[in-house]
């Protein structure tokens, strides 16, 4: 499929509707993306023709379901550059993946006096699991601060890292500001002191080609629903040696090899971490999303989004009273424009835009440390994806004109 925004938009049924009597402009993809027909049909085909549990049955439907389920694992693994599909664990999403690492690896390897390094940019999903781990083990949390443009102050990194640092957990891309973090350089610094590098890739793998081997990280978490896949789907990639050494995250069916009265042994990777009946349709849908994005091409998507971001920064930034948060350089900024407008509360901005058929996000975006850094409670956030166009941004600007008219 060549990159044609009009044709691509037509693949997403939800975008064809009117909201409040006006054609929908969806600018909330950082919260969740819309789903193309290719994904919807793949999930429908499973439920209509192959609905059976995986791995456990020898009948035809179970065989077909298992084949589709494992084929999807291979697609996602290859998509992020994993060396082996067995290194990819199906989870409910980035949140589930990070909790898995914090519990299954953290509880066995982090002790009192150890340190966990996060950043002020993090989504709550990459803060709370580490806070819980620190509370249980007596470890200490430390944070990389951000500058006025929302970029990590990497000059502080040498003083924050030491032989006490066990984990560095950083987002690939900030969901609140769109900041693109230099993961490869941070991972190299973490490894110099013997720490593991865990990446929240919820907003990273969505917008650019990711190669976990090239990045040099130890764990990479991602969510299907951010990348045109279904909600409740996601994956954790981890280095094989780490995954093999880790204890199971949950116990139950599927993750065992042998069960005795007092002791049991575990299944091989990746099944050791996949207790119970998995989200089979979700995995198949996530694999279909990878097919869809791969056919278009991540490089083409990135070029399109960069063009949209430049256009949005220029047009939105020209509005009187607007303040945009996040890096000024497009090289350090993903497809998010986070802003405030005069004295208008972001919730009011979002409500008025909704009346104009424009969907954005308003709030702290599960990133309260970012908001505190800027001394605000919330921002309005417009986020773009492959199905958006310059016309969508024009509609956003027109809607913000309505906001200015109401608030003076």
Neighbours of 256 (CB within 10 A): 16
DSSP-assigned letters across all residues of 162-209: -TTEEEEEEESB-TTT-BBP-HHHHHHHHHHTT-EEEEE-TTTTTTS-
Distance CA 310, CA 328 (A): 10
Q: Is the dihedral of CA 92, 36, 31, 180 positive or negative?
A: positive
The Cα-based distances of 369 to 40, 119, 213 in angstroms read 36, 9, 30
In 3D space, the residue among 212, 205, 220, 242 whose CA is nearest the CA of residue 169 turns out to be 220
In 3D space, the residue among 7, 86, 43, 44 whose CA is nearest the CA of residue 287 turns out to be 43
In 3D space, the residue among 150, 98, 153 whose CA is nearest the CA of residue 126 turns out to be 98
CB 195, CB 117: distance < 8 Å: yes
Each residue of 89-102: b (16+ CB within 10 Å) or e?
Answer: bbbbbbbbbbbbbb
- 167 forms bridges with which residues in the sheet? 116, 196
DSSP-assigned letters across all residues of 83-113: S-GGGEEEESSHHHHHHHIIIIIHHHH--TT
CB 123, CB 171: distance < 8 Å: yes
Distance CA 164, CA 180 (A): 27
Which residues are known catalytic residues? 366
Sort residue 22 into left (φ over 0), alpha (ψ -120 to 50) or beta: beta
């Amino acid at each position: 499929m060549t990159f044609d925004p009009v044709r691509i938009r037509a693949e997403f049924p939800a975008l064809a509707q009117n909201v409040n009597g006006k054609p929908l402009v969806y600018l909330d993809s950082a919260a969740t993306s819309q789903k193309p027909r290719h994904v919807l049909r793949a999930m429908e085909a499973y439920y209509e023709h192959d609905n059976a549990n995986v791995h456990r049955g020898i009948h035809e439907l179970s065989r077909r379901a298992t084949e589709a389920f494992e084929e999807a694992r291979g697609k996602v693994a290859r998509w992020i550059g994993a060396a082996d599909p067995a290194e990819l664990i199906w989870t409910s999403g980035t949140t589930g993946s990070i909790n898995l690492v914090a519990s299954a690896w953290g509880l066995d390897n982090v002790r009192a006096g150890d340190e966990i390094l996060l950043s002020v940019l993090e989504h709550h999903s990459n803060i709370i699991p580490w806070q819980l781990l620190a509370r249980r083990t007596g470890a200490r949390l430390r944070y990389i601060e951000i500058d006025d443009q929302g970029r990590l102050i990497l000059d502080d990194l040498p003083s924050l890292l030491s032989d006490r640092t066990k984990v560095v957990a950083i987002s690939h891309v900030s969901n609140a500001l769109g900041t693109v973090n230099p993961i490869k350089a941070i991972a190299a610094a973490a490894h110099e002191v013997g720490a593991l590098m865990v990446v929240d890739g919820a907003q990273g793998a969505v917008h650019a080609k990711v190669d976990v081997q090239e990045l040099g990280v130890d764990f990479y978490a991602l969510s299907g629903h951010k990348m045109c896949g279904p909600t409740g789907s996601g994956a954790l990639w981890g280095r094989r040696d780490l995954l093999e050494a880790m204890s199971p995250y949950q116990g139950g069916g599927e993750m065992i090899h042998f069960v005795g009265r007092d002791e049991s042994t575990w299944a091989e990777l990746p099944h050791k971490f996949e207790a119970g009946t998995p989200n089979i349709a979700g995995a198949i849908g996530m694999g279909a999303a990878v097919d869809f994005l791969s056919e278009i091409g991540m490089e083409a998507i990135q070029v399109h989004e960069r063009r949209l971001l430049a256009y949005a920064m220029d047009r939105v930034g020209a509005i009187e009273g607007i303040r945009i948060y996040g890096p000024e350089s497009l090289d350090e900024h993903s497809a998010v424009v986070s802003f405030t407008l005069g004295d208008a509360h972001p919730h009011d901005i979002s409500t008025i835009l909704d009346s104009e058929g424009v969907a954005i996000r308003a709030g702290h975006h599960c990133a309260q440390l970012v908001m505190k850094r800027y001394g605000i409670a919330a921002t309005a956030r417009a986020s773009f994806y492959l199905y958006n166009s310059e016309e969508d941004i024009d509609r956003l600007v027109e809607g913000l004109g309505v906001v200015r008219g109401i608030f003076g």
